Amino acid sequence: MNMRKDTKAAQEVRALDDFFDMLSNDTARACCGSKHVEVAHEQVAVQTLLITDDLFRNADIPTRQKYVNLVNSMKDSGGNVHIFSSMHVSGEQLAQSIGIAAILGFRLPDLEDIEM
């Protein structure tokens, strides 16, 4: 069980590193924040979704349901989903980026113009 947990944590760290690399090298293929991720998802552009487990424990039920639906939709469409534990360093790093981010399969340069 510990080996499986370590593997999952290693995959999450790799995904977070990939996100930050993409954000540095090609900002039109990475986004963070709820609104930007939602718009990218609507355009079927999200390749990898990164989300903290804190969003699933949100006290506001409609907000929590929104994120659960997003994750389920990503999984149903075959996208990659990484749910980060707030107890892990990578989860803390993602929480600093508003708790949700995405690596896009193609560029969405107009996404930056949308106010959060």
Q: What is the DSSP string of 43-76?
A: TT-EEEEEEEGGGGG-SSHHHHHHHHHHHHHHHH
User: What's the predicted TM-score (pTM) here?
Assistant: 0.88
Query: Which range, 2-6, 26-30, 110-114, is most confident?
Result: 26-30
List of domains in the chain:
3-104 (3.30.1330.30)
Burial class (CB in 10 A: 0-12, 13-18, 19+), 4: exposed
**Span 31-77, pLDDT tens digits:** 999 999 999 999 999 999 999 999 878 899 999 999 999 999 999 99
